Structure formats: structure tokens, C-alpha cells
Amino acid sequence: QIWSDPETRKGFLQGLAEKGYNRELLMEMQQIIDAQNSDLYDVLAYVAFALQPVPRTERAEHAKQSMDQQFTDRQRAFLDFVLAQYVKVGDAELDTEKLSPLLRLKYNNAIADAFAELGTPVQIREVFSGFQRYLYDARQRE
């Protein structure tokens, strides 16, 4: 639950960094356990509970199926774009600080077009944050 919300995830990662486990160290651990195609959540789950990492492609596909009826077609098109970036780059793409750059990338620097397609900035932020719970749904591990 902490990981599926960008703000609580950021706080959690900051807490780990303060204890000496910064993103770079976690990424080294990711390589050691051969989970480069998974995200840091899987590294932590592996270390804490010996759970096998879930590839980002699998997480993204599960999220697409789970959220199918939860968003409008236009919102899903944007979220599909976000998921493609997540699969390619990693969980850092899910940080709220990435929202504006992702909108600019998707809508060719035309933020007004993004607002016309997706709604107000508050609505867009809610969609961006809200869909992430589908990425970390516990049923993926069943």
C-alpha cells in the first residue's frame, strides 16, 4: 500500500536513504538478484520475504487488465503511455515529479492539449497516482 502511492513511496525511499539504503544501493541489489527488469519494490520484497521479482512487463499487463473499466479511453491511452515508459525505464517514472515531463512527452509539449484530453491538473494527478495501485496489486503474486 505504501509503495502504490507515489507520495508515500517517496517518503519510504527517503527513509531508507537516511538509513544508508539509497536508490543506487538498491539498484546494485537489483543487479545482484538479477531483477533488472523488475522494480525496486521487488528488490525489497525479495530481501524481506524471499518473494520472486515480478517483471515490469508483467506488472504493466496486469495493471492494464485490472484498470480497464476504471478510466476513460483518453485516460487509458495516457496511462498506457506511462506504463510503456515504466517498463522501459523503471519505477522512477512513476514519481509525481515525472508527471509534467511525461505529459509534455506524450502531448508534444502542448500541456493545453493534455488538459483538454485528460481534465484539470488535479484530475490528471489523481489518475496518475490512482492507477499505480493496480501495478502493486497483491493478486499478481498468486
pLDDT tens-digit readout, 61-82: 999 998 878 899 999 999 999 9
- Nearest to 8, CA basis, from 131, 129, 135, 134: 129
For residue 139, pLDDT beyond 80: no
Backbone angles phi, psi at 76, to 5 degrees: -65, -35
- Nearest to 46, CA basis, from 58, 34, 62: 34
Q: What is the pLDDT of residue 69?
A: 84
pLDDT digits (tens, 9 = 90+) for 31-65: 999 999 999 999 999 999 999 999 999 999 999 99
Residue 44 CA to residue 115 CA, distance in Å, equals 36
* Residue with cell string 544501493: 25
Q: What is the DSSP string of 94-132?
A: GSGGGHHHHHHHHTTT-HHHHHHHH--HHHHHHHHHHTH
Q: What is the pLDDT of residue 28?
A: 96
